[in-house]
A and B are shown apart, each in its own frame.
Chain A
Amino acid sequence: MNIFAFEFRKYVGSLAVWIGSIVGLLMMFMAFYPVLAKDAAILDLFLEHYPEELLKAFGMGGELSLASVAGFFAFSFAFTQLVIAAQSAYYGFHFVSVEERERTADFLYAKPISRASILAAKYAAAGLALFLTNIGVWAGSFLAISWFRGDATYELWPVISLLLTVPVFQLFFFSFGFLVTAVSKKTTGVIGPAVGVSFVLYMLNALRRIIGGELLGLLSPYYHFDPNVILQAGQWEPFHAGISIGAIVVANVLAVRFYLKRDMSTAI
């Protein structure tokens, strides 16, 4: 049994829950679409009763109408991004720190295998788990759209463009978690930091929507890959995508360097 197979096996149970949650969330949101789309006027009336800032914070009131398939899918996908971010960050915080948190590092790292090989195997196992989630997101998105759009039409390419952002979005949060655990002396919790970072960056983008400007958004991948913008433009915004990709590269290079020279903590 190699490390990759051993590690991947540990993801299988939680992976089913994550993918099921993401697909379920997409289905649940899109299930409201036929009702809301039936009478766009009622929907507009409904939204008028909410403050503009609140609608902006939740990604509504953009260029795309919520009565359109693309508009409603963008609204739904913004919440899906939150779950994808939490899962990716969780894996990032978890995938190498688990050996130290559960005190098994003295078993694995005393074996005749280089630390780089262990890291590569663990990275690949987590990467495969994220890739399978990505497939789940694609399948869930197209199923939800095709089941609930009724007679409404939508353009395929903007949806594909949006779904193509998922791996980069996942890697952003995954790499953030990896970097934090690689430089930290000790990682005590995983769920808290993972949920925390996914919410904080989400709220940062929500705040940007309210106060305007771009500065806060530059720090948040929710802004770099805003579903409303991508579904409307049909493509990524190169500068924003570049920031995310650059951050991923820098985080990974630093995290690997730190991790390979890291003192494995133990119970002393």
Chain B
Amino acid sequence: MRAFRHYVLLTGGISLNAIELKELTKYYGKVRGIERLSFSVKEGEIFGFIGPNGAGKTTTIRTLLGLVFPTGGMATIFGLDCIRHGKEIRKNIGYLPSEVFYYDQMKVIDLLKYSASFYKRDCTKRIHELAEIMELSLHRRIEDLSYGNKKKVGIVQGLLHDPKLLLLDEPTSGLDPLMQKRFFDLIAAENKKGVTVFFSSHILSEVQHLCDRVAVMKNGSIIRLESVETLRQENYKKVVLKAVDLSAEDLGLSGVTDFKVDNGAARFFYRGNAQELVGAIAKQQISDVVIEDPSLEEIFLHYYEQAQP
């Protein structure tokens, strides 16, 4: 706690980075977990961490928590080294793992009280508030809960001590749509109170809905770090042309990617001058045309296929 107070005194209330990674690397023997990750998350930000299974999202979060030790580089949370000051840092972290496992023989309320006992404060009121929001029965045994209900236990135990930083690893898996919405409302409310949120997911709509910035991961490295808004506003257009035997070369345009033909329609992404696009289309024999903004999902997949880290 002393180290955290020292950090607060040093910063004097100035907004700094909640998380900072410098060349953070983790290898499991010869198997790469993450490689030379460098980025920062500002205090009060909701930061999305996107990538498929095995991209290194969980490894990054578990390294920040000191559950695994980095092979190289370093990471700080609230200005403190996450290995040397792990105990101090974790006082202010709420963590929801992607796979939730608790002591099966315990009742939910006993587990939550046990969890609260590590924070040296009375969390009883907050436990009941959160349980009510998430419709969690407190007197059932953990072993009797469905996966979704175990996830709710995870959410309550991650939030009950009013943390300043939330590390959420694929938090919505197992939750039904209603509970997902409540969870997002809860996270948004926490963020309004100043809580920083680090949110890993492979579901882009979640990130689009909630996050300020997003890092796209592939094979243990970041291939893109951008604000959600910028990603969406990139000058990409998704084009569908109904035409017979049309090829990318026929268009004679630079900036065409992902050109595919199926069911008598050519589909591609175009990044460039709109006037040139319309001019090139006008020269073709087409029966229909659709030009629209791609979804974030499509931008992501496009990036993912192109990136070669």
In the assembled complex, the Cα of A174 lies from the Cα of B117 at a distance in Å of: 29
On whether the beta carbons of A268 and B117 are closer than 8 Å, the reply is no
A-B pairs with lowest CB-CB distance, top 5 = A103-B101, A112-B91, A263-B68, A112-B90, A111-B118
Interface residues of A in 164-206 (CB under 8 A from B): none
List chain A residues, Cβ under 8 A from B90.
110-113
| CB nearest to B118 among chain A residues | A111
Other A-B contacts than A102-B101, A107-B102, 18 sampled, CB-CB below 8 A, are A1-B113, A1-B114, A102-B103, A103-B101, A105-B67, A106-B95, A107-B157, A109-B65, A109-B67, A112-B89, A112-B118, A263-B67, A264-B62, A264-B68, A266-B58, A266-B97, A267-B99, A268-B54
Asked whether any CB of chain B lies closer than 8 Å to the CB of A261, the reply is yes
Interface residues of B in 68-89 (CB under 8 A from A): 68-69, 86-89
Given A6-B114, A264-B62, decide whether A112 and B67 contact each other with a Cβ distance below 8 A: no
| CB nearest to B93 among chain A residues | A110
Chain A contact residues: over half helix, strand or loop, or mixed? Answer: loop
| CB nearest to A267 among chain B residues | B99
Asked whether any CB of chain A lies closer than 8 Å to the CB of B7, the reply is no
Binary contact track B260-300/A, C-beta < 8 Å → 1, others 0: 00000000000000000000000000000000000000000
Pick the contact of B101: A1, A6, A107, A113 (CB < 8 A).
Answer: A107
In the assembled complex, the Cα of A110 lies from the Cα of B118 at a distance in Å of: 10
Interface residues of A in 109-148 (CB under 8 A from B): 109-115
In the assembled complex, the Cα of A267 lies from the Cα of B62 at a distance in Å of: 12
Asked whether any CB of chain B lies closer than 8 Å to the CB of A104, the reply is yes
In the assembled complex, the Cα of A110 lies from the Cα of B91 at a distance in Å of: 9
Pick the contact of A104: B28, B95, B101 (CB < 8 A).
Answer: B101
What is the CB-to-nearest-CB distance from A182 to chain B, in angstroms, rounded to a whole number? 14
In the assembled complex, the Cα of A102 lies from the Cα of B67 at a distance in Å of: 15
Asked whether any CB of chain A lies closer than 8 Å to the CB of B174, the reply is no
- Residue contacts A-B, CB under 8 angstroms, 29 given: A1-B113, A1-B114, A1-B117, A6-B114, A102-B104, A103-B99, A104-B101, A104-B102, A104-B103, A105-B67, A106-B97, A106-B101, A107-B115, A109-B67, A110-B95, A111-B115, A111-B118, A112-B87, A112-B89, A112-B90, A112-B118, A113-B118, A264-B67, A266-B62, A266-B67, A267-B99, A267-B101, A268-B54, A268-B59
| CB nearest to B54 among chain A residues | A268
Binary contact track A91-107/B, C-beta < 8 Å → 1, others 0: 00000000000111111
Asked whether any CB of chain A lies closer than 8 Å to the CB of B148, the reply is no
In the assembled complex, the Cα of A111 lies from the Cα of B120 at a distance in Å of: 12
What is the CB-to-nearest-CB distance from A249 to chain B, in angstroms, rounded to a whole number? 26
List chain A residues, Cβ under 8 A from B95.
106, 110
| CB nearest to A2 among chain B residues | B117
On whether the beta carbons of A106 and B62 are closer than 8 Å, the reply is yes
Asked whether any CB of chain A lies closer than 8 Å to the CB of B259, the reply is no
Asked whether any CB of chain A lies closer than 8 Å to the CB of B119, the reply is yes
Interface residues of B in 109-152 (CB under 8 A from A): 113-115, 117-119
What is the CB-to-nearest-CB distance from A3 to chain B, in angstroms, rounded to a whole number? 9
In the assembled complex, the Cα of A134 lies from the Cα of B68 at a distance in Å of: 37
Which has the most chain B C-beta neighbours within 10 Å: A103, A105, A112, A114?
A: A112
On whether the beta carbons of B103 and A106 are closer than 8 Å, the reply is no
List chain A residues, Cβ under 8 A from B59.
268
Which has the most chain A C-beta neighbours within 10 Å: B88, B93, B102, B119?
A: B102
| CB nearest to A109 among chain B residues | B67
Which has the most chain B C-beta neighbours within 10 Å: A103, A106, A109?
A: A106
